[in-house]
């Protein structure tokens, strides 16, 4: 394989024959679809007659509230839907829960056997402070950990770097060495609690720290479970926290998938993320399309490496946004499962059911929270959480009401966690599987989102795949256009956000809510701790270990073993990242208009 990872984008992308055969769907305009059964044709004619008589007469007295009814993504919404509008083949398009194409859920029992994992994102200040928050959340009934890292860590810099000044511990926890990982997970059994780490460019380093910690504790690598986000492609599309250029970044991700499929089989080595794409301004269909196209690129890269799809695909996971439009979000999760299953089976020839299952984490939409009237955010998050559950997510983070201002306080995190627990224990929605399945509007939205996403994936294939599309700026431009369109709707009042452009009050913006403040002493303490680690390690051994990382980067050998070895010698994450930057080069985001 080439050192720059270019094998991940080689080969033919003329995949038309392998793409899923999504059936044609009736449009919103009201025309009678062709080739529908006679009884449905009669129903469709009856619906048209109802519109022309009963509905028209009613609207003459009480006109519609607005000229256009649309989803939050600006897709047209019809007044009513019937079976004639949604020509489904139940077995092919829906199936039973836990069976292909998994539209109704990836498990046969879903929440009747086990509730979704309540995985609250947490991280701030020093490893000691975040360790305390982890233990607090576990004591309150949280069932998994999710780690937020500070900006220097996300970008591959240590706390003592001049680039880190003023940022250490501010938006997440600072982790510089294995010593920080030891403190972060002190008293937490790695073989009993699954851990998610939201890290991308330097993900390989943080995962190696975690594996080194398990090794040090004598925990078998086969016993640790969790997820590292590690979605390099969405960084170039949306979040912009990369380490190296796209092609070598793909090589690094592929190394991780290859290593963990053999050594750490319970670990999800990439969480293919639509969340950041949606937060950047994408529509629901764009979030779905670009996320699955990223997934296709990772699968292609692994297959090009010589891996069998059924050996690694079961540990691919996903991460989606849950935005404001209740029904659109539910449909998006259903469409994602169906389209991914079809892609894996029809395009890549997957044979194991586990390889076709789209297992996803979800998080309520941070971009939907408002600084104005912040207590309104509790309601927004509750509705979004409900949509995520009805959509069939495997785990969920609910945002806190104060996150437009700062990292959340313990009290606001408690409200966010209790929101999930109330949905789980009091609402009844977890008692039956896919309760909105068969609702004609939901099924229509599901199919339309699938069709639109598939059309976009075909365009990306025609460009040569997702890496080529990113290099051409295609997804970046599409997202920017959607973000601009939404903002214009907001500014004109066509799109309403309560407390922002309608139902506005004169009260102080924050409403006097208490905020979490990060002490500037955090950076000084972290720098002192890092200096102590550096002074106490074997400098010559660290230098040799880093040289081995560089040699692996240049030779094409798998990067995981030498980085784990360097981690055990307390090499810092920036020291490792600098070696990778030197070997692979750096990347500058091109301007897109």
pLDDT tens track, the chain, 593 positions:
333 443 333 344 444 445 565 544 333 333 444 455 668 889 999 999 999 999 999 999 999 999 999 999 999 999 999 999 988 899 999 999 999 999 999 999 999 999 999 987 888 899 999 999 999 989 988 878 889 999 999 999 999 999 999 999 988 999 999 999 999 999 999 999 999 999 999 999 999 999 999 999 999 999 999 999 999 999 999 988 899 999 999 999 999 999 999 999 999 999 999 999 999 999 999 999 999 999 999 999 999 999 999 999 999 999 999 999 999 999 999 999 999 999 999 999 999 999 999 999 999 999 999 999 999 999 999 999 999 999 999 999 999 999 999 888 989 999 999 999 999 999 999 999 999 999 999 999 999 999 999 999 999 999 999 999 999 999 999 999 999 999 999 999 999 999 999 999 876 555 678 888 877 889 999 999 999 999 999 999 999 999 999 999 999 999 999 999 999 999 999 999 999 999 999 998 877 66
DSSP letter for each residue of 307-330? --HHHHGGGEEEEEEE-S-HHHHH
User: Which neighbouring-strand residues pair with 378?
Assistant: none
Alpha helices in 86-230 (DSSP H): 127-139, 151-155, 178-184, 203-217
Dihedral sign for Cα 432, 437, 438, 441, please.
positive
- CB atoms < 10 A from the CB of 261, how many? 19
Beta strands in 299-422 (DSSP E): 316-322, 360-364, 395-397
- CA-nearest of 287, 263, 268, 267 to 277 is 287
pTM of the model: 0.90
Element (H, E) at 145: strand 145-148
Look at residue 121 and give its three-state secondary structure: strand
| Centroid of chain to Cα 185 | 24
User: Which neighbouring-strand residues pair with 229?
Assistant: none
Domains belonging to the chain, first-starting first, are 26-85 (no CATH), 117-472 (3.20.20.240)
- CA-nearest of 530, 515, 411 to 168 is 530
Look at residue 432 and give its three-state secondary structure: coil
Residue 508's pLDDT is what?
55
Q: Round to whole Å and give the CA distance between 114 and 107.
A: 10
Look at residue 91 and give its three-state secondary structure: helix
Note the residue count of the chain: 593
| 349 touches 366 (CB < 8 A) | no
Work out the end-to-end distance of the chain between its first and last CA atoms, rounded to an integer number of angstroms: 34
Look at residue 551 and give its three-state secondary structure: helix
- CA-nearest of 215, 212, 307 to 258 is 307
Alpha helices in 30-170 (DSSP H): 38-50, 56-61, 127-139, 151-155
Q: Between helices 284-304 and 326-342, what is the axis angle to 10°? A: 20
Give burial (CB, 10 Å; 0-12/13-18/19+) of 40.
middle
| 388 touches 322 (CB < 8 A) | yes
Q: Round to whole Å and give the CA distance between 302 and 318.
A: 17
Residue 234's pLDDT is what?
96
| 511 touches 532 (CB < 8 A) | no
Q: Omega into 101 within 30° of 0, i.e. cis?
A: yes
User: Judging by DSSP bridges, how do beta strands 316-322 and 267-268 pair with one another?
Assistant: unpaired
Look at residue 197 and give its three-state secondary structure: strand
| 88 touches 36 (CB < 8 A) | no
- CA-nearest of 158, 136, 134, 157 to 147 is 134
For the stretch 93-112, what's the b/e string if a residue is b when 16 or more beta carbons lie within 10 angstroms of its beta carbon?
bbbebbbbbbbbbbbeebbe
Q: Angle at Cα 82 formed by Cα 80 and Cα 86, nearest 5°?
A: 115
| 288 touches 451 (CB < 8 A) | no
| 479 touches 236 (CB < 8 A) | no
Q: Round to whole Å and give the CA distance between 356 and 293.
A: 15
Residue 228's pLDDT is what?
95
């Amino acid at each position: 394989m080439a050192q720059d990872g270019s094998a991940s984008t080689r080969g033919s992308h003329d995949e038309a024959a392998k793409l899923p055969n999504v059936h044609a769907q009736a449009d919103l305009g009201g025309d009678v679809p062709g080739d529908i059964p006679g009884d449905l044709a009669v129903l469709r004619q009856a619906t048209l007659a109802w519109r022309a008589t009963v509905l028209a007469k009613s609207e003459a007295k009480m006109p519609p509230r607005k000229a256009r009814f649309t989803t939050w993504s600006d897709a047209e919404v019809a007044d009513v839907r019937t079976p004639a509008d949604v020509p489904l083949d139940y077995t092919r398009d829906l199936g039973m829960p836990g069976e292909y194409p998994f539209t109704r859920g990836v498990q046969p029992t879903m929440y009747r056997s086990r509730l979704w994992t309540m995985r609250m994102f947490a991280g701030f200040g020093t490893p000691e402070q975040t360790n305390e928050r982890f233990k607090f959340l576990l004591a309150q009934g949280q069932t998994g950990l999710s780690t937020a890292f500070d900006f220097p860590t996300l970008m591959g810099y240590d706390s003592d770097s001049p680039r880190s000044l003023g940022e250490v511990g501010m938006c997440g926890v600072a982790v510089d060495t294995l010593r920080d990982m030891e403190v972060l997970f002190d008293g937490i059994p790695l073989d009993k609690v699954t851990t998610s780490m939201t890290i991308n460019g330097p993900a390989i380093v943080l995962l190696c720290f975690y594996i080194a910690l398990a090794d040090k504790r004598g925990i078998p690598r086969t016993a640790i479970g969790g997820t590292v986000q590690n979605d390099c492609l969405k960084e170039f599309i949306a979040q912009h926290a990369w380490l190296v250029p796209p092609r070598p970044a793909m090589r690094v991700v592929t190394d991780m998938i290859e290593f963990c499929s053999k050594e750490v089989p319970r670990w999800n080595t990439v969480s293919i993320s639509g969340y950041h794409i949606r937060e950047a301004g994408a529509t629901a269909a764009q979030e779905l399309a670009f996320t699955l196209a990223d997934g296709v690129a990772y699968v292609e890269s692994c297959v090009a490496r010589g891996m069998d799809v059924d050996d690694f695909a079961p540990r691919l996971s996903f991460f989606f946004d849950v935005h404001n439009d209740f029904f659109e979000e539910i449909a998006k999760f259903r469409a994602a499962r169906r389209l991914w299953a079809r892609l894996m089976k029809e395009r890549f020839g997957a044979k194991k059911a586990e390889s076709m299952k789209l297992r996803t984490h979800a998080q309520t939409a941070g971009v939907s929270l408002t600084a104005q009237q912040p207590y309104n955010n509790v309601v927004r998050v509750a509705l979004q959480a409900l949509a995520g559950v009805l959509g069939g997510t495997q785990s969920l983070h609910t945002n806190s009401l104060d996150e437009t201002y700062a990292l959340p306080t313990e009290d606001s995190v408690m409200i966010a966690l209790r929101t999930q627990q109330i949905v789980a224990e009091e609402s009844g929605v977890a008692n039956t599987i896919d309760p909105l399945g068969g609702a004609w509007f939901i099924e229509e939205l599901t199919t339309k989102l699938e069709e639109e996403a598939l059309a976009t994936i075909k365009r990306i294939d025609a460009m040569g795949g997702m890496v080529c599309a990113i290099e051409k700026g295609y997804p970046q431009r599409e997202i920017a256009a959607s973000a601009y369109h939404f903002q214009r709707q907001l500014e004109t009042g066509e799109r309403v956000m309560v407390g922002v452009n309608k139902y506005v009050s004169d009260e102080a913006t924050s409403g006097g809510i208490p905020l979490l403040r990060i002490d500037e002493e955090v950076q000084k303490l972290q720098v002192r701790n890092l200096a102590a680690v550096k002074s106490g390690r074997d400098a010559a051994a660290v230098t040799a270990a880093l040289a081995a990382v560089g040699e692996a980067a240049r030779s094409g050998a798998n990067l995981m073993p030498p980085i784990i070895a360097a981690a055990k010698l307390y090499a810092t994450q920036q020291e490792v990242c600098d070696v990778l930057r030197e070997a692979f080069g750096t990347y500058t985001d091109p301007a897109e208009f």
